[in-house]
Amino acid sequence: MRLTNVSFRYGRRAPWVLRDVHLELPDGTVAEVAGRNGAGKSTLLRLLAGVTRPARGSVTGRPAVVGYAPEIFPTAQPFTVSAYLAHMAAVRGLPASAADPWVERLGMTSLLDTPLPDLSKGSAQKVGLAQALLASPGLLILDEPFAGLDRQSHAELPLAVEEVRAAGGIVVVSDHQNGLADLPRTLHVAVENHTAELRATRDAAPREASAVIEVRVSQADTEVVLRKLRAEGYQADLREDPS
């Protein structure tokens, strides 16, 4: 996906927020967007997501399915959580059950009958994440996704990000909370002086000397065990049973 000469301002006489941005994001990458407050991170994320169109320049190669979770989820909508997620699935031509795995992984089952305006900030954040993830996006844009999240969803989100990346997708995240610090192969995008630039790749912090432990589990438990280990920050891989 590529931004070519992209410029944007909020109104014809407003100052430019971004000018002549050139940015290339290869498939299968996670890009972390950083910059001071007001630098234009959220604006860049909206341009990438296609929610906002550039005043000048072009965005090409955007994957067909885009999931976008804004910094603040708009709760002033006349839906319960389940009705909202079913609606968002239907908009994407999917059955309501498409949201089920995310309802479970983000620990939202008890919220399903809650009207959106009654949600706490953290719960609203989860609904925003679930609607962004439910269609298996090829481009996932997350604006400060860790703010206000509880422990379960805080642990689950890096796994979700890694799944999108591993499937060849692009993930772009602004993340003051550093919730993705352990993910390898993260690109770093600096937003400053009205532009956005790729900086050196930040690899995950080098690990201390490591060891491999073999754990045998029943076929049915593999997904659960892998997820738990990864949530704890371990590198866990599935190996065919040679016996």
Choose one: 40-48, 131-139, 195-203, 211-219; the region binding ligand ATP (CB under 6 A).
40-48
Residue in 3, 25, 31, 39 binding ligand ATP, rule: CB under 6 A: 39
Q: Tell me how far apart the alpha carbons of residues 68 and 129 are, in angstroms, rounded to a whole number.
A: 8
Non-local (6+) Cβ contacts of 29 within 8 A are: 165, 170, 171, 185, 186, 187
CB of 97 to ligand ATP, least distance (A): 34
Instruction: Report the C-alpha gap between 93 and 87 in whole angstroms.
Output: 10
- Interface with ligand ATP, residue 40, by CB under 6 A: yes
Radius of gyration of the chain (CA): 19
> Using CB under 6 A as the criterion, what x/- string covers residues 4-33 for binding ligand ATP?
------x------x----------------
All residues at 6 or more sequence positions from 215 whose CB lies less than 8 Å from its CB, including other chains: 225
Binding mask 41-70 for ligand ATP (x = CB under 6 A): xxx---------------------------
What is the size of the binding site for ligand ATP (CB under 6 A)? 10
Secondary element (H or E) of residue 90: helix 81-91
Shortest distance, position 234 Cβ to ligand ATP, whole Å: 32
List contacts with ligand ATP (CB under 6 A): 10, 17, 35, 37-43
